[in-house]
Amino acid sequence: MLTLQFPGAQRLVEALDLAICRDCPTEITDQLRHTLCRLIRDPEVKLPDCVFEPVGDHYARRELYRSEEHGYSVIAMTWGPGQGTPIHDHAGMWCVEGVWHGLLEITPYELTGQDDNRYRFESRGTMIAGAGSAGSLIPPHEYHTICNPSDDDVAVSLHIYRGPMTSCSVFRPLADTWYERDQRQLSLDQTH
């Protein structure tokens, strides 16, 4: 189900449908990553104008497509200057994330310990991803943060999830690399 019409929408959907027809998560995410990099550079695919409009107090999540046949969803995220996420997971779902516009700072984390509702994480380095780049997350390697490092430019990323992403775990810092887990309901921002 296409949520928003935009130039090249059918081209994007057909390419993603073709990429997702694989046997295992690694094959699916590898193919989606390559496909997404190609689509980002395709001049015939132009995301709707609304995905380039930031929301003042949070990064925006706008659904572009949800596949009734294959179950995956496509969310465009708009990152205003300095906007980002805490450490979070993807609720056990694989995801492919591509930078459509601007730059994003991505830091993967490894879960190195757990004690009741306390979790210990270690950073695995930070990378700056530019337009045209894409990466994938496959559980249990799904913990990360994303941030727009710019002081004045908007960044836009496209996220392809195995299914509808309606909630996730977020981790609030306690002390000495320990974090507390909270469940967060995820909403979609208005499209127009």
**Residue 122: pLDDT over 80:** yes
Per residue in 36-95, pLDDT (tens digit) is 999 999 999 999 999 999 998 999 999 999 999 999 999 999 999 999 999 999 999 999
For residue 136, give the nearest of 106, 103, 167 by alpha carbon: 106
Cis check: omega of the bond before 173, within 30 degrees of 0: no
**Residue 183: pLDDT over 70:** yes
Q: How confident is the model at residue 5 (pLDDT cuts 50, 70, 90)?
A: confident
HEC readout, the chain: CECCCCCCHHHHHHHHHHHHCCCCHHHHHHHHHHHHHHHHHCCCCCCCHHHHCCECCECEEEEEEECCCCCCEEEEEEECCCCECCEECCCCCCEEEEEEECEEEEEEEEEEEEECCEEEEEECCCEEEECCCEEEEECCECCEEEECCCCCCCEEEEEEECCCCCEEEEEEECCCCEEEEEEEECCCCCCC
Per residue in 163-174, pLDDT (tens digit) is 999 999 999 999
Residues 33, 2, 58, 142: what is their CA dihedral angle, to the nearest 10 degrees?
A: -30
CA–CA separation, 101 and 154 (whole Å): 8
Per residue in 15-25, pLDDT (tens digit) is 999 999 888 99
One-letter amino acid identity for 50? C
For residue 74, give the nearest of 86, 87, 62 by alpha carbon: 62
Mean pLDDT score of the chain, rounded to an integer? 94
The structure tokens listed for 132 are 């045209």
Average pLDDT over residues 93-121: 95
**Residue 192: pLDDT over 80:** no
Average pLDDT over residues 112-129: 94
